[in-house]
A and B are shown apart, each in its own frame.
Chain A
Amino acid sequence: MDFNDSPEEAEYRAKVRRWLEKNAPVSRIKVAHGHENPEFIADEKAWQAKKADAGYAGITWPKEWGGAGGTPNENIIFHEEEARLGVGTIIFGLGLGMCVPTIMTAGSDADKERFVKPAMRGEDIWCQLFSEPGAGSDVAASRTRALQAEDGSGDWIINGQKVWTSGAHMADYGLLLARTDPDVPKHKGLTMFWADMKSPGIDIRPLHQADGGSGFNEVYFTDARLKDSQRVGEIGRGWNVALVTLMNERLSVGGGTGPGWAALMALAKVLPGVEGKGTVLSDGGFREKLADWYVAAEGLKLTRLRSQTALSRGETPGPEASIGKIIAARQMQDLAVEALDRLDQFGIMLTPTQLPYVEGFQRNFFWGSAMRIAGGTDEILKNIIAERVLGLPLDIRVDRDPAFKDIAGGR
């Protein structure tokens, strides 16, 4: 057990530090999710291109397609150092973390040639067109229809609706899961495509969220036409391709954001205790909860270090990565509610306050709910642990064998 870099890792870290100190932007523009303006996007793109030119994008990707051919640990080290300076890029996450790795696994050589390098340089922004109003946890129930054109062109005509699409409003391309054959069982009638988001028949509308914000989009397809060369993988193999994306998603959706236990502790220090006794921090009930939150949050951080150790030994991180979001998302919610409880009547007010972190906790009061759903709900993640880690039986599925068109749909 040791936390020190190996000599090679230390050397790489030193190299990264030197490069970042020389090249990293002094300050980055910050905007809210869903409100990325052209100035922000240009700033992100410039920094991403600089990283790519120096070999700090696609660090683990094969050299053949322009990657740096590095180790997972080098990738982790670079991102640690980048985060230390607070200069990480945001809008390329879906492309670099999920969509382009899927193209690299299942796409044609022409697609790889076309997409890998530009994605690394931040020239293209990607979004993921999977979730639908009737297909959330059960994303294989996608109804967006891809029908081959009758004109003999081999083109595909797309009709349907996607939802919860992060970044669609600024994306150049999207990875699209669509139903090509409703007459076979549901997992067998799906096909994956990539779509040019600027093409006709694609309508992108901001989604009005429960918290009042609009960070996501709805994407409507009305007779949108895709070439057959935009197909990713074989016809009817879309579910297998989607699994590649989803596996990458579980690794990249980390979980908790915003104020954590330390922030709550700081707030507790300045709030009066019940009946005017001491501070909230001196309250026994609060202290017990604080200890548990600390143990869970630190335990999670340490569990990630164990995964990194496995990764550095060439082992594939397994479905155990699922535990991260189960803990972190719930804790976001619990910490927020505790903070608001301790603010007492003031907790309901949106008026700015001098107290630390209040805004963050109010934001997480809503965002905790979102994080417990996004990228796999608590329940789906527990199923994954039960089935893939503990080896318990798959759920009995009434929709596995019949043709998709014959299974109950509902809403």
Chain B
Amino acid sequence: MNFDYTDDQKFLKQEARKFLQAHCPITTTRKVLDDNSKAFDRELWQAVIDMGWTGAAIPEKWSGSGLGHIELCAIAEELGRVIAPIPFASTVYVFAEGIMALGSDAQCEAILPGVARGDVIGCLATSEREGLTAFTAIDARVAGGRLNGTKLPVTDGDIATHAIVAALDEAGPGLFVVQLTGDGIIRETVPTLDPTRSAARVEFRGAPCERLGPVGDGAASLATILDRAAVLLAFEQVGGADRCLEVARDYAMERYAFGRVIGSYQAIKHKLADIYVKNEIARSSAYYGAWALDAGAIELPAGAAAARVAGIQAYDFAARESLHTHGGMGFTWEADCHLHLRRSRQLALALGGLPVWRERLVLNLEARNAV
């Protein structure tokens, strides 16, 4: 048994950390935060492409490096630590994974090399309105190979070249690939809680589209994408949560109150221990999800849901309590605590939130129980 990264994967992770220390200091994220015209950091995005990260899990026959999913998880953890302001999650964990899992050979051939080369920015468009996203809350329609409808919000929808869109056609729920640079697309950036990641309102007016995955089985296809993305996103959450703990710990070691460092008070010590416990559970759950994803195991849906629930809970708690540990300083624009608070919320909601994934998990336990 080896329930950890291998030595090679650890090396890759170390190199990724060094690379991001050099290319993504917190000022990089802050530039995107402070400049409303900036949807992402182009230089960092190009550097990440040059590192081959966008093609890490794409097989060599489609111009990827074919490293594998565990390697991609290691990269995700490091990107999560630094709150990277780039469309990596939408493009790699969601869009490319969706194409790889559901696409025909022709679709993979047409799209994946572009992802690996960095020509493609991908996104997933499901939500249309307030409340839980489901096909029952979707009006977007496909008829005669043309898509009509409006999606809101679409993470990276303003900068993406391609989208996977959830819509209905004569066969029922389905997924469709749409080129966003073509005709019939009207899109605008929308403000969100986390300006370090971009989001858009995307309107499709007779946009040409192509089916992705089996006919009439949109819900199952979407679940396939969400499960894979949930595991990878969980690693970003683990990375972010660990960083929050480190920052809170460092601050608690240098901030004095009542004549001693605040880290010497049990109220703070126990708070940080609580964060540690949640982070470790999230890490273990993410590892299990990674194993299931990499091995193509039938345990993936339960493993992904558990990884996502634990990941959301850990990063949410760590971000909030890390800010709290910083006291009044933590609630200033200058302190970086709010960057984690924002990103933890963005990651918590992007694929559907805690209530959705808890329910997915329990449905899975029931199904397992019934067999």
Q: List chain A positions with a Cβ less than 8 A from chain B.
A: 1-6, 9, 265, 281, 287-288, 290-292, 294-296, 298-300, 302-303, 305-306, 308-310, 312, 320, 323, 326-327, 379, 381-383, 385-387, 389-396
Contacts and interface: CB of A to CB of B under 8 A. Distances in A.
B282 interface: yes
A291 B366 CA distance: 11
B1 A5 contact: yes
Nearest to B284: A302
Nearest to B360: A291
Contact of B261 (A3, A265, A299, A393): A393
Most buried by A among B2, B4, B263, B365: B2
Contacts of B284: 299-300, 302-303, 305-306
B264 interface: yes
B1 A305 contact: yes
A387 B269 contact: yes
B215 interface: no
A386 B267 CA distance: 11
Contact of A295 (B272, B283, B310): B310
A386 B269 contact: yes
Nearest to B292: A1
B37 interface: no
B48 to A, nearest CB: 24
A327 B2 contact: no
A382 B1 contact: no
Contacts of A389: 276
A308 B365 CA distance: 26
Given A288-B359, A392-B263, 12 more contacts: A2-B3, A265-B365, A291-B357, A295-B285, A295-B306, A302-B284, A306-B4, A309-B1, A309-B3, A386-B270, A392-B269, A393-B264
A2 B263 contact: no
B232 to A, nearest CB: 14
B70 interface: yes
B272 A386 contact: yes
B110 to A, nearest CB: 32
B129 interface: no
A94 to B, nearest CB: 27
Give 8 nearest A-B pairs by CB, closest first. A299-B281, A386-B269, A291-B358, A302-B284, A382-B273, A385-B273, A393-B264, A1-B291
Nearest to A394: B264
B288 interface: yes
B287 A1 contact: yes
Most buried by B among A3, A5, A308, A310: A3
Contacts of A392: 249, 252-253, 263-264, 268-269, 272
B291 A3 contact: yes
Contacts of B280: 299, 303, 320, 323
Nearest to B310: A295
Taking residues whose C-beta sits less than 8 angstroms from the other chain, chain B's interface range is 35 or more
Given A265-B365, A288-B355, A323-B277, A299 B285 contact: yes
B257 to A, nearest CB: 13
B281 A300 contact: yes
Interface string B347-370: 000000001011101100110010
B264 A395 contact: yes
30 contacts: A1-B3, A1-B70, A2-B1, A2-B295, A265-B369, A288-B358, A291-B361, A291-B362, A294-B306, A294-B361, A294-B362, A295-B310, A299-B280, A300-B284, A302-B3, A302-B285, A309-B4, A320-B280, A326-B277, A327-B277, A379-B270, A383-B270, A383-B273, A385-B277, A386-B263, A386-B270, A389-B276, A390-B276, A393-B261, A395-B266
A392 B246 CA distance: 11
Contacts of A294: 306, 361-362, 365
Most buried by B among A6, A296, A394: A296
Contacts of B358: 287-288, 291-292
B274 interface: yes
Contacts of A385: 273, 276-277
B2 A1 contact: yes
A290 B276 CA distance: 22
Nearest to B252: A392
B290 interface: yes
Contacts of B313: 292, 295
A383 B268 CA distance: 10
A299 B310 contact: yes
B316 to A, nearest CB: 13
Contacts of B268: 392
B260 interface: yes
Interface string B302-321: 00011001100100000000
Most buried by B among A281, A305, A381, A395: A305
B355 A382 contact: no
Most buried by B among A5, A281, A393: A393
A290 B4 CA distance: 27
Contact of A386 (B273, B285, B369): B273
A393 B268 CA distance: 11
Contacts of A265: 365, 369
B350 to A, nearest CB: 19
A354 to B, nearest CB: 20
A320 B305 CA distance: 25
B290 A1 contact: yes
A282 B282 CA distance: 27
Interface string B1-43: 1111100000000000000000000000000000000000000
